[in-house]
Amino acid sequence: METRRALVTGAASGIGAACAQRLAADGVQVVAVDFDQDGLDALDGVDTIVSDLSDLERLADLPTDIDILVNNAGVQQVAPVEQFPPERFSYIIRLMLEAPFRLIRQTLPHMYGAGWGRVVNISSVHGLRASPFKAAYVAAKHGLEGLSKVVALEGAAHGVTSNCVNPAYVRTPLVTAQLADQAATHGLSEAEVLDKVLLEPVAVKRLIEPAEVAELVAMLCGPASASITGSSFVLDGGWTAH
């Protein structure tokens, strides 16, 4: 993997940071992208770029000679549809669906030319299941699932695979922030939100660790991944087993 170069978005914390460090441990040359300079500075053995991925026109400034693209950056907003701020809906779709499309679009020529590439989209169990009060997030993740499958079909002839990774709730700042929002929405304490809302649909009653997600990402980029494409890999503690 020492000859491979990866770009990981949302890499300053949580899943993105774990993926960046895990790929670097395999010898991959990692470019970590986020708007959080302090978080990026805490990473070891990777190159870093500070960028606001919701500014779509600036995406063209990012490296395109990329062999592995991990689309991870995301945010959450919890609100009923009739109260959901339209500008926030647009922002989430821009960051979590349009930005991955543009990054895939501008890195595919390099992958095609090399005859090898890996696109890994960090989706969610919410790419397969809906939850109330998360209209923008669920819409973006469902869209990412479809985009990933189209890239898989188009890229197969060029040695490029495209897959989604679909975790349930992971121990990340995004999930921690949700506890307060959901507590206000449901009239519960944060502890009750964790037990009665976030972990209610899962059989394994714990948050997933970022390193668990990163291990699956590494597998999808590794030597056994050539025929794995167009799929969604669920780490949901049994949520979708219902």
CB 206 within 8 A of CB 199: yes
Residues 6+ apart with CB under 8 A from 84: 77, 135, 136
Nearest to 56 by CA among 116, 102, 119: 102
CB 89 within 8 A of CB 180: no
Look up tokens 């998360």; give the residue: 134
Kindly list the catalytic residues.
Answer: 137
CB 174 within 8 A of CB 76: yes
- Rg of the chain on CA atoms, in Å: 17
Environment class of 107 (CB within 10 Å of its CB; exposed 0-12, middle 13-18, buried 19+): buried
What is the distance between the alpha carbons of residues 218 and 214, in angstroms, rounded to a whole number?
6
CB 11 within 8 A of CB 62: no
Token reading at 173? 């700042």
Task: For residue 158, count other CB atoms closer than 10 A to its CB.
Answer: 15
What is the distance between the alpha carbons of residues 163 and 151, in angstroms, rounded to a whole number?
9
CB 43 within 8 A of CB 20: yes
